[in-house]
Amino acid sequence: MPLVSPFAVDPLVDGRQSERALMVRRGVQRLMTARRVSLLPEMPLASGRRADLICLSEKGEFSIVEIKTSVEDFRVDRKWPDYRQHCDRLYFATHPGVPADIFPQTCGLIVSDGYAAEILRDAPEERMATATRKALMLRFARLSADRLLQAEWAANPFMTAPREMDLPDG
């Protein structure tokens, strides 16, 4: 049996998000799931940025949700305009303790309490180029498959056992 495994105990949690950010994310995930929107957290983008949540609608439209948990969190982060090139709609998500008026009117706004979320302002649509959409769709699909495999392996360590452990004795 290996003493060291290259797989995290929980491959779906990477430890970079605060508890409050995870709470906001959970509410947004529930909202999007209820709307039949597929989503991935922490998706690397072609620009080198990482989307907090990327959402794929049944129509093939992409939205990015940037999570902000405080006024200071919003003020110090100036990378969010870069996300526009990777989505059709850009949203901010926060919790009720953050004033809604700090967020730009040119983006959508979602408020989450961790159990539910509500879209306070819909994001205007700014369609991506066709080649960008195709590349993002492939990236989304591959990352989804990779994460599903990691989750399966984490749930069933027998799947990653060395070959000699796979065979029964005899």
Q: What is the tens place of the pLDDT at every residue in 47-83?
A: 999 999 999 999 999 999 999 999 999 999 888 999 9
Q: What is the tens place of the pLDDT at every residue in 115-170?
A: 999 999 999 999 999 999 999 999 999 999 999 999 888 888 777 666 655 555 55
- What token pair was written down for 136? 């993002």
Q: What is the tens place of the pLDDT at every residue in 9-42?
A: 554 555 567 899 999 999 999 999 999 999 999 9
- What token pair was written down for 68? 């902000």
Question: How much is the pLDDT for 104?
Answer: 96
- The whole model's pTM is what? 0.83
Domain boundaries, the chain: 19-157
